[in-house]
Amino acid sequence: MDFQQRFDKGEVIEFENPTLVLASASPYRAPILENHGIEYIKILADTNEAKLQKAYKHKDIDLDYAKNYTASLALEKQKPFQNRIKNGAVITCDTVIWCNSQIIEKPLTKEKCREHHLLLSGKTNYAITAIAVTYNNKTLCGIKVSPNKVAKLPEKIIEEICNEPETLNTAGYRIGGVFGKYCNINKTDMQNVIGLDVPLLLSILKKLGFN
């Protein structure tokens, strides 16, 4: 029985050696770890984010408010793992986009996707990623904010973006698609925009004493 099955059955998972546990279903975060030669085990858990999302405003807010919201989401995802993982550092993340005093999350529908990209067009937005890690009953959360200047998007390009695979299930926007051609992102910020800033993660692990 693998770790996910054991976790789903309610077992407490105890690792023989210190182990990283990535609690993220994102198709982008795991490859980032792998590209850096970082070994991990993936274990997923259901989290009810809807209640927390409703508790926070999404419009007429400043960047600090958006950062606090993103951190709250990452920390909420830690709750299913409390007292369930021993000798493992559990990593949970969340990414949102802040633009024009608004939080932009997964569009889920083409109508919302169109609305989001009309808002992003010609403006600078900020990708906010929160990384929370729990190890030996101690939790730390870090935030990375990355700016992204977006060129004016032609209407036909917005329609193309709305019809791309995965676009509706990506926080704010999918940088890997045609939208990426209209973006100006510093190379050092690219990992964070995708959803996992490795230097930030390593800094958190070091503070927690994970080797």
Tell me, what amino acid is at 137?
A: N
Question: Is 185:146 a contact under the CB 8 Å cutoff?
Answer: yes
pLDDT computed for residue 27 by the predictor: 86
Structural tokens at position 69:
């919201």
DSSP letters, 93-139, are EEEEEEETTEEE----SHHHHHHHHHHHTTSEEEEEEEEEEEETTEE
Q: What is the value of pTM for the model shown?
A: 0.94
Q: Domains, the chain, ranges and CATH?
A: 3-100+125-148+187-207 (3.90.950.10)
pLDDT computed for residue 169 by the predictor: 85
pLDDT computed for residue 95 by the predictor: 93
For each successive 10 residues of the chain (211 residues), what is the average pLDDT? 92 96 93 96 90 89 97 96 97 96 93 96 97 97 97 97 90 90 93 92 97 79
Within 8 A by CB and 6+ apart from 210, the residues are: 18, 20, 89, 133, 135
pLDDT computed for residue 119 by the predictor: 97
**Ranges of H-type helices in the chain:** 3-8, 29-35, 50-55, 63-76, 110-120, 155-162, 190-194, 198-207
In whole angstroms, what is the distance from residue 106 CA to residue 113 CA? Answer: 8
